[in-house]
């Protein structure tokens, strides 16, 4: 099989994992949160943390590797406008994702403590959940934009300083 085809396939799979895992995690966390059941939220958040670290982190590492190898093999300089914008959006996504992982750990721990004590979720949980929820919108939009940029490869050269 052609190495370029394998790299493209791996890159597309990585993009699917990033988008799919992100959407799935958001859905399940939101559905658990809506129940206000601390034990259910604790369990869901625990699974979400594992999924994020196993799937998302793997894809986060694979994407720049496969993308960089593809660009090199296809002769695309990283200074091409759509590639530069994609890389910038990728960094932006990471800047939202890293705190989200920490917040998920805190949400899990706060929900576990509330479940053990038989208490309502604390105000800190709700504040962190609001931040977690808000971080999802720009990160998700950035991933969608990256996917569009990779497919359309628009000529953005006029926006670049030469």
Q: pTM for this one? A: 0.89
**101 close to 49: Cβ distance less than 8 angstroms:** yes
Q: Which domain holds residue 153?
A: 3-159
**143 versus 160: which is more confidently predicted?**
143
User: Which residues, including other chains, have CB under 8 Å from residue 85's CB and lie 6 or more apart?
Assistant: 149, 156
Residue 153's φ and ψ, nearest 5 degrees, are: 45, 60
How many structural domains does the chain have?
1
For residue 21, give the nearest of 62, 49, 63 by alpha carbon: 49
If you average pLDDT over every residue of the chain, what do you get? 94
Residue 32's pLDDT is 98
């Amino acid at each position: 099989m052609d190495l370029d085809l394998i790299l493209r396939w791996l890159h597309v799979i990585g993009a699917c994992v990033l988008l799919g895992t992100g959407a799935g995690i958001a859905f399940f966390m939101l559905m658990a949160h809506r129940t206000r059941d601390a034990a259910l939220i604790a369990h869901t958040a625990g699974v979400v943390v594992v999924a994020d670290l196993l799937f998302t982190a793997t894809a986060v590492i694979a994407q720049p590797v496969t993308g960089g190898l593809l660009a090199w093999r296809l002769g695309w300089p990283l200074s091409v406008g759509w590639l530069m914008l994609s890389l910038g959006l990728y960094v932006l996504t990471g800047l939202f994702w890293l705190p989200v992982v920490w917040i998920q750990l805190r949400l899990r721990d706060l929900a576990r403590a509330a479940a053990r004590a038989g208490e309502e979720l604390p105000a800190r949980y709700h504040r962190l959940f609001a931040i977690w929820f808000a971080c999802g919108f720009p990160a998700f939009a950035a991933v969608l934009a990256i996917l569009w940029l990779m497919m359309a490869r628009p000529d953005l050269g006029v926006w670049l300083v030469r």
